[in-house]
Chain A
Amino acid sequence: MSNALKVLLACTLLAGGCAQSVQSPQSLYAELGGQAGIDRIVDGLLWEIAEDAEIRALFADTDIQRFRNKLAEQLCAVSDGPCVYTGDSMRETHRHLAVTSAQFNRLVDDLIRVMERERIATGAQNALLQRLAAMRGDIVAE
């Protein structure tokens, strides 16, 4: 292995070390900005959905105010916040919608862009995405 390769490898490992040291011990709920932060994420996501013709149609029969409340409650519960999700199951709410893989990915992309705009830390974004990705099987019609 040449010296140049060793130097680059060392830089790579150092970069990883830095990323670790800035990680906070906060709960995911706190890293998302608590309930106020989650409310901003939900509202941002509603705007993204409204502008995305590919997924807007899925919400044609949705009571937006109820959806807004239940999604905020769900994100709070999923991120270990002080909430209990009282809405219907993911399987039940998506059963008749025939959600495609593409629509699911577009919503994930919308959510990521909202979290970037809200300056949510990358680690918190990834932690939330990991928890939400586990629900994909109940949402997407295979």
Chain B
Amino acid sequence: MMTVRALVAALALCLAAASQAGSRLLATGGANSIEGQAGGGITPWAVISGYGDLGEWGGALGLSRVSVDDFQLDTQSASLGFDNRLEFSVSRQDLEVEPLGLAIRQDVFGAKVRLAGDFIYGSAPQLTAGLQYKRNRDMAVPQALGAARDSGTDLYLAVGKLWLNEALGRNVFANGSLRWTAAHQTGLLGFAEQRELVAELSAGLFIDRHWVIGAEYRQKPNGLQAVAEDDWADIFLGWFPNTRVAAVLAWTELGDIAGLEDQSGWYLSIQLSQ
């Protein structure tokens, strides 16, 4: 627990020490997602966190809350981007299981590398490879539900592209990812022995350069015998007043979680970035 908090603080200091704001265009660093990496809300995207361009640092500090019928998930995250190529992140998730009056905590350590392309310029999309090492700290409930492991590593490939002046005179973007994961409910209910391949898709439209609307879909494994796991979806509204702060509000549909049916509710994240 202390190590993650210390890492978040250290990354925050690195961020504060970066000499000046990054040069990349507004909103091109996305927002810190629930697993701490730059993305939307429920999925990581191909973009690198913050506004660092080639030869520059950037990054973000994020807080998010998902509040659905029987659960509340809080995430604190810190991410660093360098050279618009590498991203490192740490995050702490606290899931409150309200009917049981207990909490499940998980740490997520992330890394990402941009392999090719650019999110805006040129015809090739931005291609990124990423990983998320996850460590569940409260395995009583996951073990009772049949989870085999308390940690796991997700691997993914993501492609993202923004098209200027694409529809209705507006800029439009899309992101698609293939994830290889053994996690039950992103790891909050533990991990299986075997990984499987799942897909994630996001798309959005910039109303102007400060406001963006969009939707995300995240396919999930369904590996626990005892309880069903459903795919996740959300629709979101993002606000980027400047490169220093951003906020995302979303309505999420998370389906069945740990035997509690049809979980839906609000998602809110705020972040500081540069």
A interface, CB within 8 angstroms of B? 1-2, 4-5, 8-9, 12, 15-16, 19-20, 23, 54, 100-103, 105-106, 108-109, 112, 121-124, 126-127, 129-130, 133, 136-137
Contact = CB atoms under 8 A, between A and B. Distances in A.
B53 A102 contact: yes
Contact of A112 (B170, B209, B251): B209
Q: Which of the listed residues B53, B167, B169 has the most CB atoms from chain A within 10 Å of its own CB?
A: B169
Given A15-B213, A54-B23, A137-B122, A126 B207 contact: no
Nearest to A128: B165
Q: Which secondary structure characterizes the binding site on chain A?
A: helix
The 3 closest A-B pairs by CB, nearest first: A123-B169, A102-B23, A102-B53
Contacts of A15: 207, 213
Contacts of B16: none
Contact of A102 (B55, B164, B208, B215): B55
A16 to B, nearest CB: 6
21 contacts: A1-B253, A2-B253, A5-B264, A9-B215, A9-B235, A19-B170, A20-B168, A54-B23, A100-B54, A100-B55, A101-B53, A105-B24, A105-B53, A109-B23, A109-B25, A121-B169, A122-B169, A123-B168, A123-B169, A126-B164, A127-B169
Given A100-B53, A112-B209, A126 B235 contact: no
B23 A103 contact: yes
Contacts of A102: 22-24, 53-56
Nearest to A127: B165
Contacts of B26: 109
Contacts of A129: 164-165
B120 interface: yes
Contacts of A5: 233, 235, 251, 253, 264
Q: Which of the listed residues B22, B56, B164 has the most CB atoms from chain A within 10 Å of its own CB?
A: B164
Contacts of A2: 253, 262, 264
A45 to B, nearest CB: 16
A89 B80 CA distance: 38
A121 B253 CA distance: 35
Contacts of B31: none
Contacts of B167: 16
Interface string B44-58: 000000000111100
A100 B84 CA distance: 13
A24 to B, nearest CB: 10
A12 B251 contact: no
B270 to A, nearest CB: 20
A133 B235 contact: no
Q: Which of the listed residues A2, A5, A105 has the most CB atoms from chain B within 10 Å of its own CB?
A: A105
Contacts of B84: 101
Contacts of B120: 133
A4 B122 contact: no
A69 to B, nearest CB: 27
Interface in B203-226: 205, 207-209, 213, 215
Contacts of A16: 167-168, 205
A15 B208 CA distance: 12
A108 B26 CA distance: 11
A138 B168 CA distance: 28
A16 B214 CA distance: 11
Contacts of B53: 100-102, 105
